[in-house]
Structure 1
Amino acid sequence: MKMNRQKKNTLLLLAAVLLISALSWTVYGFGTGAFQKKETKTVEVQVDGSRYGRYPLDQDTEFEIKCINGHVHFIIKDGKAAITESTCPDKVCVHTGWISQSGELIVCLPNQVVVTVL
């Protein structure tokens, strides 16, 4: 009889530990967004205040954007975006480097180009 009671207590303890573990994992997963569908980030390119286009960060691409004062060379690669070449004098947009996080942006004031990660 004593062995059955000890076995029953062990099983109850094991069940409680498993239940707490499962609940903790579930709360953590929903709290951090691990169970949510990941949306592909996009970048929006604006030229002279108008939308030039939106591009997904998960598709590599590159192109020239012709502007009033010249051009900029725009690249998306490995989930990041950058302006790698520009006809502007200070090249602040080129020196900004790669962006990939929501809210980050690249601005080329002389060419009036703004690239924003959405």
Structure 2
Amino acid sequence: MSNKNLIDSTAAFEGAQKDSKNENYILRLYVVGTSPQSVRAINNIKSICEEHLRGRYELEVIDLYQQPQLTQGEQIIASPTLIKKLPLPLRRIIGDMSNEERVLVGLDLLPKRK
């Protein structure tokens, strides 16, 4: 591998990283009513998004009591569930979003620990 190819691939990688930092996120949070866990999940994800994605996210909160038909279309088996629609790949995070590191890994904002 020539030095020029190494430099070109490094530049491409760095460019892709910069692009991902400017991507808009489309998120859907599925909750059940106003249970303490649902309220906690809403507050936690809003806080995480404002801190890490300010101005680059769209968050839709869906109450499955009001729209139960959506459990099948999105294959929701637990609540609360956060689905990252965009950027791809699609990701699902289940729980009250209190583990910020886990949420950031799920949103592809932090690398997964090995």
Q: Does the pair score TM above 0.5?
A: no
Of Structure 1 and Structure 2, the greater helix share is in: 2
Report 1 or 2 for greater relative contact order, CA contacts < 8 Å, sequence distance ≥ 6: 2
Structure (1 or 2) with the larger CA radius of gyration: 1
TM-score (norm 1): 0.30
TM-score (norm 2): 0.31
